[in-house]
Amino acid sequence: MKKNKMINLKKICYLLLIISVLSGIFTVVCFGRELRGNNVSNIKKVVNSNASIGKAYFEEIFSERISNMEILAERISEQDLSNRGELAAVFEELNGYFDDISILDINGIRLYGNCLYKSVSNSEGFEKALDKKANVADEITINYEGNDEINIFAPVIYKNKVRAVIVGSMLLRDLKNKLIASGITKYGSVIIVSDSGDVLADTNVSSKLEISADTNIFTYLNECKVYGGIDNSGVRTSIRNARETDFLFRYNKYNYIVTTVPTHINNWSFMFVSKGSRNNLSEFFITSKSMNFIKILLVNLICIMTLLIFAVKSREKLLDIEKIYDAVSKIDKTIIFQYYFNPKKFELKDKFGIIIDKGTKPLMGEAIYDVYDYIHPDDLSIRSRLRKFFESKEDFFTSEVRVLNRNGEYDWYRVSGFVEREDNGSPKCFIGKLMDASKQITMEKNLVQRAENDMLTGVLNKKTIEEKMGLLLNENKSDRYYIFYMVDLDNFKNVNDTLGHIYGDKAIADTGAELSKIFKNDALVGRLGGDEFAVCSVYDAFDDESLKEYIIKKAEQVKKANQRSYTDGVNVVNITSSIGVSVAPKDGNDFETIYKKADSALYHSKNTGKDRYTLYNGELWKK
């Protein structure tokens, strides 16, 4: 009886062990498949995130260069394009953006730069520029050193006609290096593909892909096993129709996950390819073994280790996603942000503690609007622009705002991001970055200053002073007078003829400096050309007599300051200046009128002995 009971208990124990092992194996298999699915899902998220961020960075590389070229094109639209010295000075600010900057006339003849070695005048990009469209060329060219490059075209438009075309050349290797420097290629390879499947550029971090600039991606995928719910034909259709697509493929015993997103540049697609794995990413197998006590213990140990490994791997994938944001944030001290619409949540990943303290918790609910407290009051219009953007069908947003830092000062930042939408088009999540734009804005201000100022004297050039005076005269305030001085050097020709142009240039530069000191910040000082200068001063006069006293006082100062001598050690040349003065609105309400009257007064000073000033004999002085 006892023996039978022992046998029954043993059977029950074995049965429980078998059930436990089978249940454990079944659970491990099911859980393993689920974790494997999560693993694939996490990799896809990493790939999708890299593709979206990489696409935005890729587009920004070209949009920034097009924007700078358009600024240059506008600034030089009225300049003498044959003056290579002035052009070189203007283009100096963009040397870091391009391998070469050239100017072609409308017939494709080189005016400046190295386009002599290129056949870009016959390209579609050149034709688009002649049609007043700044663009990136579809085709890849080879420069005079044998390097592949992409050309960017911008028209120089004057009076609504294309006067010339600026061509900026960017080496493909520079584009590749920028993509690698962004940190994105740490997690895979970037491939830029045309709508016909041709590879235009690639980082190809993984040599196992065997992809180069001579590869056609459609032909390449024909040799691979494409899976993941789409075949090679579907990939081809998505790229040609500029649609985002995800797929997997197997090549040379390795499996890859790919996200392809269309860009705004020539319908090119940005393709991000994960690092290859020898395991099939869509399948998972566990083989059962003979059931005995020792092997059951081993299976249990293996199951525990497997669960731990899967848990660690899943954690590593999540950390990898976090590292992506950290890598991107290191580009020019970029700050990453995420905004979720439902429920409302705003998180700023300020790794450097520039704006907020490190580790600051996300804003929730209505508190998300506190972020606008950091925006400069003059830039709060970004709130309405963001609202309109979210209500639109667009996916990418960019703007520039001043943001309050922890030192209580405002810095310029470029805000850029993309929105992820629900199936019905409503916004789901807005992800973007704040990138320090102070250097670029400083560069743009320098470009504006170079375009507005006379290169020799530093005062305003003729075009700029005419424009600014026109704006002043349009104000037409009844309690203000606008005094226009025309100053012309006497005996200036003798300086050039006797001492040389170096001394002539010095005399002109000294005149500009003296006028700037006399009038300081309360007037417009400009050079009209040659040795002729103009000053427009604003004065609030109580009566005609006080106005006249002010005019004469300044005219005496100008006359005295321009009584100078120049010598080369042997010869001495003395110069003076003749001055003509007119006043708006007494002598006219527009620039042309007061210019002619001041010129008439200047002519009188020249013809009555020089080294003197003449006030226009208008209605004001008849008393």
Query: Stretch 236-249: mean pLDDT, rounded?
Result: 91
Q: What number is the average pLDDT over the span 452-466?
A: 85
Rounded to whole angstroms, the Cα distance separating 386 from 425 reads 16
Element (H, E) at 601: helix 591-607
- 61, with CB counted inside 10 A (0-12, 13-18, 19+), is middle
**454 φ/ψ sector (left φ>0, alpha ψ -120 to 50, else beta):** beta
For the ranges 6-20, 89-103, 532-546, the maximum mean pLDDT occurs at 532-546
pLDDT tens-digit series, residues 370-401: 888 888 888 888 888 888 888 888 888 988 88
Using a CB cutoff of 8 Å and minimum separation of 24, what contacts does 139-146 make?
Answer: 140/172, 140/200, 140/213, 141/169, 143/99, 143/100, 143/114, 143/117, 143/118, 143/169, 143/171, 144/114, 144/117, 144/118
pLDDT above 50 for 5 = no
Q: What percent of the chain has pLDDT over 90?
A: 24
CA distance linking residue 70 with residue 54, whole number of Å = 24
Other beta carbons within 10 Å of 128: 18
Tell me the per-residue pLDDT of 158-202, one tens digit each, with 9 for 90 and over.
Answer: 989 999 999 988 898 888 888 888 888 887 889 999 989 888 888
pLDDT at 8: 53
* pLDDT at residue 144, rounded to an integer: 78
Nearest one of 112, 86, 201 to 451, comparing CA atoms:
86
Kindly indicate the confidence band of residue 271, based on its pLDDT and cuts at 50, 70 and 90.
Answer: very high
Mean of pLDDT values over 585-591: 87
Rounded to whole angstroms, the Cα distance separating 95 from 170 reads: 11
pLDDT at 2: 43
| pLDDT score of 77 | 86
pLDDT at 558 over 50: yes
Measured at the alpha carbon of residue 541, what is the angle toward residues 537 and 542, in degrees to the nearest 5?
A: 180
User: Helix, strand, or coil here: 519?
Assistant: helix
Model confidence at 298, pLDDT cuts 50, 70, 90, reads: low
pLDDT of 1 higher than 70: no
Q: What's the CA gap between 344 and 332, in Å, rounded? A: 29
What is d(CA 224, CA 106) in angstroms, rounded to the nearest whole number? 47
Contact 472, 482 (CB under 8 A): yes
* Per-residue pLDDT, 410: 84
First-last CA distance in the chain = 145
DSSP string across 187-229: GEEEEEE-TT-BEEEE----GGG---TT-BHHHHHHTSEEESS
- Domains detected in the chain: 76-174 (3.30.450.20), 335-436 (3.30.450.20), 453-621 (3.30.70.270)
| pLDDT surpasses 80 at 19 | no
Where b means 16+ CB within 10 Å and e means fewer, 375-386 reads: beeebeebeeeb
Tens-digit pLDDT profile for residues 440-449? 666 665 555 5
**Listed range (152-166, 223-237, 345-359, 605-619) with the worst mean pLDDT:** 345-359
Average of per-residue pLDDT across 534-553? 86
The mean-pLDDT minimum among 89-98, 133-142, 303-312, 386-395 falls in 303-312
Residues 132, 60 contacting (CB under 8 angstroms) = no
Locate 180 and state its tokens: 């690698």
Token code pair at residue 421: 């939408």
Model confidence band, residue 132 (pLDDT cutoffs 50, 70, 90) = very high
Residue 589 scores a pLDDT above 90: no
Q: What is the pLDDT of residue 536?
A: 92
**Mean pLDDT score of the chain:** 80
Is pLDDT above 70 for 535? yes
User: What is the crossing angle of helices 591-607 and 462-475, to 10°?
Assistant: 120
